[in-house]
Amino acid sequence: MIEILAMVMAIILPFWNIPLILRIIRLRSSRDISMFWALGVWLCFVLMFPAALSSPDPVWKIFSLVNLVFFSLVVFVVLLFRKKEVAKDMEFEKVVSKRSSVRKYRPESLPRELLQKLAAAGAKAPSARGVEPWEFVIVTERDVLEKLAGICPNGAFLANAAAAIVVFCRDTKYYLEDGCAATENILLQAAAEGLGACWIAGDKKDYASTVTAMFKAPAEVRLVSLISLGWPEEDKLQQKNRQPDSLVHWEKF
Ligand SMILES: Cc1cc2nc3c(=O)[nH]c(=O)nc-3n(C[C@H](O)[C@H](O)[C@H](O)COP(=O)(O)O)c2cc1C
């Protein structure tokens, strides 16, 4: 009886790896998993396996086999998403150069944590007098995205986006500058995460009041921008018409 219980537990124990594997897949990153830890544990299972295999003890055998299989899977997933991790650690300069307006997205949804991270990047922007007037509405529901696409003709591609962040600001003196600073932070964070994103005009547009009403925003907030988001359908290179040298003036024009 004790042995059967131990065998069942030996099989069940490695299933605790499943949430870890799913989390890596969901976040498309193994950044928070130490390679040293994953490879170390895996190596232990590999080196224990020959002894377990030749042992008459079935619990030890099963424990070793199931753990080896599951942990090999963990290591595989960690390595698979390591590329992404490297991309995330991209130097700032590379992120700035990589960012471009992406309007075509793959259909996969975006993890909630990732969207929250983008909004958090927005909240790290500078704001005039430090008033931090931002309010971000994260949209993931398909019918709402489609509705937004219908309202904003210049953002029709919202219909195929995985999500959008709608940037509102309390109506302060510098609401527009503050909202734009937050928008750019979100775009850069999105680029660093390997996401595709596009800035869609909000302020000054005829539809600003419609969008504001749609989200039941309080009267004192103003729409600054909408940011469409999704995993990019294609690798897009940034293209600029003007070279930095042509627009930089030292000391005077
Ligand atoms: C204030 C602002 C408003 C924009 N509005 C829109 C828009 O409504 N629709 C759109 O497709 N792109 C919009 N864009 C994205 C620009 O078209 C894009 O940044 C520009 O063409 C340069 O391309 P890049 O972002 O790939 O460098 C906007 C960008 C800014 C800064």
Spell out which residues line ligand 1, taking CB within 6 angstroms: 100-101, 103, 154-155, 198-201, 238
Please give the pLDDT value at position 28.
Answer: 77
Tell me what pLDDT residue 103 has.
Answer: 97
- Rounded to the nearest integer, the mean pLDDT of the chain is 91
Atom of ligand 1 nearest to the CA of 155: 9
Query: Using one digit for the tens of pLDDT, what is the confidence trace for 8-43?
Result: 887 888 788 888 888 888 877 787 778 888 889 899
Tens of pLDDT, residue by residue over 109-154, are 999 999 999 999 999 999 999 999 999 999 999 999 999 999 999 9
89 pLDDT above the threshold of 70 = no
pLDDT at 131: 98
CA distances to 30, 32, 71, 106, 107 from 23, in Å: 9, 10, 15, 20, 19
Q: What is the structure's pLDDT at 83?
A: 63
Q: What is the mean pLDDT of residues 103-107?
A: 95
92-99 contacts, C-beta under 8 A, 24 or more apart:
95/188, 95/191, 95/192, 96/188, 96/191, 97/238, 98/191, 98/238, 99/187, 99/188, 99/190, 99/191, 99/197, 99/238
Coil, helix or strand at residue 43 = helix
Residue 104 pLDDT greater than 80, yes or no: yes
Domains and their CATH numbers in the chain: 2-86 (1.20.1280.290), 101-230 (3.40.109.10)
Nearest ligand 1 atom to the CA of 100 is: 26
pLDDT band per the 50, 70, 90 thresholds, residue 248: very high
pLDDT-based confidence at residue 86 (cuts at 50, 70, 90): low
Residue 101 pLDDT more than 70? yes
Name the closest-CA residue to atom 20, ligand 1: 101
pLDDT of residue 87: 55
Taking the centre of ligand 1 as the mean of its atom positions, its distance from the CA of residue 156, in whole angstroms, is: 13
